[in-house]
Structure 1
Amino acid sequence: MERTHNRGAYLISWGKIELPAARPCSGCISPSSSFTVSTNNDTVCISTTDSIPTITLNGNGNVVFICNTLNLGSIDGFGTDNKIVINPGGKLIINTDFSPYQNLNIIADYGQLNLAAGASNFYAPIVVSNGSIPKKLAVCKTPSAFYTNPFNTNWGPLVTVTDNCVNLCTSQLPLDLLSFTVKENKNSVQLLWVTSNEVQTDRFNIERSGNGRDYITVGTLKSKNIPTTTTHYSFEDNLPLEGNNYYRLKCIDIDANYSFSTVQTINVKQSNKMITTVSDSQVRVRFSGSVLSGQLRLVDMQGRILKQVPIQKDQLQVTFNGSGLSPGHYVVQFINEHQVAYSSLVTFTQY
């Protein structure tokens, strides 16, 4: 595997990984204590839900499949080119130490990888890949306990993410996102998701993009924080973009750690639009479809709110006076309980 690195950067490229297919979770072992893989080019399937102190990888070219939630104290060993594959629905939580001496690929094949708060001593490059269609990988604050390999200082930073930009986690994210869907509802888009195991979840930011790269937050819902049952959420985007809309959820816990959902895409042929015009000193705003109640704000380029006008549910048009404003550019915002929609810039000249 060809290695390249950018000293000082957190994400680096270590070459492409050949992803092994997820193994069916049948005929697996369920160890209740530490175990060692000493063979070469073998496969091991682990289905235990117990905590295991250590997995030692002394063999070469082995693949270890994780089928359930496995709390693991540490990974160790002298083997080379080993892989750990987290199967769909599986989760690997590494709690204390992580120090294999040679390359180890961790592949979250629609599963989850978390590094708990006590994890430290990362003495080997870790390559993390999430396959072709990710379910969820934990995204948290950048870990502070990563070290360069004491035997080869040219290795640089020790964590790599391929295919999707996903960092590793310094604390466990307790939320499980069971489903996330979007569907068109007249001129709006409805987002539906179901969660379980909400222990320390604070809120969900709803993010939207028109190109799949640049996202803005269009709304926020507080977590219901019900850890014992599944929880259903719904959000209505009343001002989607015309054409492709890319949506994702940013699930944020009370410690400001967060994870992203998969991205859901929907094409809106005729979206609700906010159209703003200025004539003399009058600002006229109209909507092409129904909206929730909220407020229109006129904001200057420093972000100061200069005017506020209430909007009633399904009100399609409003006019307000902009006299007394200095010539220049301003922004009209429509704000309701959940989201902010920006119009194009409006320009006032001297009247």
Structure 2
Amino acid sequence: MNHPTADAGFGVYVHWPFCASKCPYCDFNSHVRHTPVDEARFVAAFAAEIAHRAEMTGKRQVTSIFFGGGTPSLMKPATVGAILEAIGRHWSVAADVEVTLEANPTSVEAERFRGYRAAGINRVSLGVQAMNDTDLKALGRRHTAAEAMAAVTVAATHFERFSFDLIYARPQQTPAAWAAELTTAIAHAAEHLSLYQLTIEPDTFFFKLHAAGKLVVPDADTARALYDVTQEVCAAHGLPAYEISNHAQRGAECRHNLVYWRYGEYAGVGPGAHGRLVTGQGRLAMATERSPETWLELVERRGHALVDVELLSAEAEGDEYLLMGLRLGEGIDPDRFAALAGRPLDPARVAMLLDEGLIERRFDGRLGVTPSGFPVLDAVVADLAA
């Protein structure tokens, strides 16, 4: 399709909604089931949704595929392979496609890595979350720190590319302790780390504990110091931030997430998956049914489980482009914003943010958020979008 972000890539997101247990901080669409999941039935439903999205898009070349969740590493490798085969039936797949699978770093799941590699996975993202057993237990994780590092070692033997996640701004965490933990993590991480500041999300167990005064997180000043330490330590070790929470060596960025942040197209399949597709109508925002069992029934009955399809206005496209693109170190292209939104950015607001040192104009004409601007990113986006 000929649209302003056609060069940003086309991704497929596959949501596997099941987990062995629910982490107390997690507000993702994840579900615990105490009976075995009928994976063959889910494979057939994923294939049906993939076929449905392919009818909407027509010809596309898939540049990235991402299995997220939930816990995709609970799937059998054969299930992953069957879903990848369905994607290949309906779209062409780039020779250098990035195929990522999120995994828990337990010894049981690490044993499946060879099978995932044979199925077509070429990158894994491991949910390590902390490097010490006390904090892992507090975060509700089912692995130990030693088990996590062993899984990282196994991942490195099977995949040329891998990443892992850590959560910071944990209760009682100090900047000095975080700097030491982060330095240790970088020694194992090779090329990519995702580093998320702990947020207390509604409808989570942590939210209830926090409201009851039983969970105390670092105050705003300490959280800012932890963020600053994150940027400094990663940059010093050759993993600068290319997105507000993601750090990588040059060339090792997660291509699938770049599709999102550069406002490319992506088909979302599975319970609770979201998508952005450009059709003859325009850019559509889509979401599927969140309940796994209801999703399954809907797909089997009508070939898809979309419950929300919205044709985005030019203003909404411009807003989304700013919201996503300003998270990136590379920033946004003002001309691309104008092509999407049907209007240019307000010169007065741009000038104000430049004067305040919150954004900067790059040599290629792009606008990027400065290190001073990232901690107040929401306000910067709101100013530019107004």
- TM-score bracket, shorter-length normalisation: under 0.3
TM-score by length of 2: 0.23
Larger % of helix: which?
Answer: 2
Rg larger in 1 or in 2?
1
* Relative contact order, higher structure (CA 8 A, sep 6+): 2
